Amino acid sequence: MPNILRSKCAIVGDSTVGKTAVTQMFISDGRNFPKNYNLTCGVELGIRTVSIPDTDDVVELFLYDSSGRDLYADYLPKYWHEPNMLLAVYDVTSQISLDSVGRWVSMVRNSIPVRGASNAPGVLFGNKTDLKERRTVSPKAGASLAERLGLQYFEGSAKENYGIEEPFYLLAHEWHKFITEKRAGFDLIT
Ligand SMILES: Nc1nc2c(ncn2[C@@H]2O[C@H](COP(=O)(O)OP(=O)(O)OP(=O)(O)O)[C@@H](O)[C@H]2O)c(=O)[nH]1
Ligand SMILES: [Mg+2]
């Protein structure tokens, strides 16, 4: 039997950047790109497991795909209920969506219990790289904001199913590492 490690991931960013598309593509293994825009009301929960190579461990990611609309902002932390990690998404054709990332990240970090906030794994994902002609945010600008916020940077396209798995795998591996190190520390004490 595998050891299942559960982790709650808050997925945030402005409305229409593609949070639902990224989440659904990851959960469906690249089969379910939502072509028509359906705004997310509050939070939608998706689940996918990631096996950690060379171990019996499996990380079960609880993905809290959150609405980017201001209307729901006050409710989101209640839905997440102390998340363990975050995925901030922006749209590479929208500088405004990149400018909002800091605010979204603070919102998630403020809802993580103090003991875990500093080592909570986090990723910044630049979505819609397929729209090459309309791109206004350079990879360098995305990566530099990620560095300033202490996030790992990735970019890709939900539409083309390009670069979608990497950010989630990184989060799962970081969580596994965090829990394994915590357990090792506990074993030393007992
Ligand atoms: N060209 C392109 N369009 C995309 C991509 N990802 C999502 N979209 C489109 O962008 C629109 C918004 O996508 P959603 O995933 O619903 O956006 P969201 O961030 O979940 O929006 P809210 O739920 O309102 O916060 C939809 O019409 C998608 O089809 C992408 O990688 N490339
Ligand atoms: Mg959505």
pLDDT 10s per residue in the chain (190 long)?
Answer: 789 999 999 999 999 999 999 999 999 999 999 989 999 999 999 999 999 999 999 999 999 999 999 999 999 999 999 999 999 999 999 999 999 999 999 999 999 877 656 678 999 999 999 999 999 999 999 999 999 999 999 999 999 999 999 999 999 999 999 999 888 876 666 6
Structure tokens given for 93: 């054709």
Range of the domain at 135: 3-189
Q: State the pTM of this model.
A: 0.96
Among 17, 25, 71, 132, name the best residue to mutate to test ligand 1's pocket (greatest count of ligand atoms within 8 A of Cβ). Answer: 17
Give the residue, by CA position, lying nearest to ligand 1 atom 13: 18
Give the contacts of 70 (CB within 8 A, at least 6 positions apart): none
Among 65, 131, 159, name the best residue to mutate to test ligand 1's pocket (greatest count of ligand atoms within 8 A of Cβ). Answer: 159
Are 127 and 18 in contact by the 8 Å Cβ rule? The answer is yes
SS (H, E, C) the chain: CCEEEEEEEEEECCCCCCHHHHHHHHHCCCCCCCCCCCCCCCEEEEEEEEECCCCCEEEEEEEEEECCCHHHCCCHHHHHCCCCEEEEEEECCCHHHHHCHHHHHHHHHHCCCHHHHCCCCEEEEEECCCCHHHCCCCHHHHHHHHHHHCCEEEECECCCCECCHHHHHHHHHHHHHHHHHHHHHHHHHC
For ligand 1, whether the C-beta of 4 sits within 6 Å is: no
Query: How close is the Cα of 59 to the center of ligand 1, in Å?
Result: 26
Phi and psi at residue 38, to the nearest 5°: -120, 110
* CATH code, domain with 101: 3.40.50.300
Number of domains observed in the structure of the chain: 1
Instruction: Tell me the angle at which helices 101-110 and 139-149 cross, rounded to the nearest 10 degrees.
Output: 30
Closest ligand to 72 CA?
Answer: 1
